[in-house]
Amino acid sequence: MVVNMELEDEIKGITYHSLNFVISRLMEECFSLAFEGELSDLKGLVEPDSFCETMDHISVLNTELDLLDSLEDPVVKGLMVSVNRVLECSRTFLMINNLVGLEIIQETDCFDSASGLYYSYDVEEPEEGMSYKDRLYALYSHYLIFQMVICHCSCMFTFKKREAYPETDALYFDRTDDLFEGKIEVEDKNAQLLVTLVAGLQEDILVLGEIIG
């Protein structure tokens, strides 16, 4: 298959921004839960999503990451396993493609496309007034969204196309067991990296499920 290099670069940009969306959303959930517990003094003073704007380069969030790593809530700790997992995937993605994250962040078209992709799977519902317990059970749907977005990015590389919704559904729903067990093997290095990430996130939500009960 002849690959349009402009399309390939666009897919790489969309994927990097999409991973940043997942990281930011995970961190937002961490802060939302912490505001009900250890960081309750901050509740009402700042919004959970104010700590992690997706247009900023995720690697500059060291203070926020250190703060979350210091918390004792076992669910927050479990979520931070996923945060660090996606961060590591993002760093690997940049390395194997010889990309510079700070340069991709400036590509607003890729950001807009990634935003459209992410929110095509994440139909946000109002979370104001949700209890701590409600937020815990909402994590299952959040992880579904993360995995679908990442699967879509993987399919973009596999099928060399931006609009890969049917292919994503087929991968996620028709090959669920293989996907979650890390048995999917694809030729494209980026697609493989991403399906491996999906399997890792599945491990994380299973662990969180045991904590949530």
What are the tokens at 157?
């590389």
Full-prediction pTM beyond 0.75?
A: yes
pLDDT of residue 93: 98
Which parts of the chain are beta strand (E)? none
- Ramachandran bin of 184, using left for φ above 0, alpha for ψ from -120 to 50, beta for the remaining angles: beta
d(CA 163, CA 92): 24
Q: Based on the structure, what is the number of domains in the chain?
A: 1
pLDDT tens across 80-99, in order? 999 999 999 999 999 999 99
Instruction: Provide the domain limits for residue 162.
Output: 5-212
Question: Looking at this protein, which amino acid is placed at residue 159?
Answer: F
pLDDT tens across 125-140, in order? 666 678 888 889 999 9
